[in-house]
Amino acid sequence: MAEHYFYLKADWPGLRNDVGSMAAGNLKAEISIPKEMDGPGIGTNPDEMLLGAAATCYIITLAAIMERSKLEKDALTMESVGVVDYTNGVITYKKIIHKPHIVLTSEATEKDLALAYRLAEKAEQSCMISRAIKGNVAVELEATITKTT
């Protein structure tokens, strides 16, 4: 097993409410504290980036295990929600809710629909980011499984 290294460079030229920048591979963005936390709300922020890491890891993992299971789909989309508590200046990332919508082909059986749901659950448990944050940030799943009519 080989280790892989990912590198990020960040620049923060000012104080709390200034705007910085970050670059990691193909990801380049301005960064600041979100408006909801009394910041300037320019570019992205750590809360969005954690949500993005968790969501993209989950949907890629789900697509891969569906492919390995030979479960054909017409579409795979998702919305995710990050719940952050900001009380008295203390920030706590409470949970992430993934809401995948899997659309199977019109030939899908009830067994296929049930398999899709099991795979959606398995992807949440298998995703590297979900495993990394386990015990600190709850990850919930609200999957919708349908088929093309």
Task: Give per-residue pLDDT as tens, 53-65.
Answer: 999 999 999 999 9
Smallest CA-to-CA distance from 145 within 75, 58, 60, 64 is with 75
Smallest CA-to-CA distance from 130 within 59, 78, 74, 33 is with 59
In this structure, what is the dihedral angle of CA atoms 16, 17, 23, 28, given to the nearest 10 degrees?
Answer: 160
**Across the chain, what does the average pLDDT equal?**
95
pLDDT band at 86 (very low <50, low <70, confident <90, very high): confident
Which range marks the domain in which residue 121 is found? Answer: 46-147
Are 68 and 136 in a shared domain?
yes
Are 56 and 112 in a shared domain?
yes
Domain finish residue from 24, 44, 64: 44
Q: Which residue has the higher pLDDT, 89 or 4?
A: 4
Between CA 43 and CA 31 the distance in angstroms is 5
What pLDDT shows up at residue 15?
95
Are 12 and 59 in a shared domain?
no
Are 30 and 57 in a shared domain?
no
pTM (global) more than 0.75: yes
Are 25 and 4 in a shared domain?
yes
Between CA 94 and CA 82 the distance in angstroms is 8
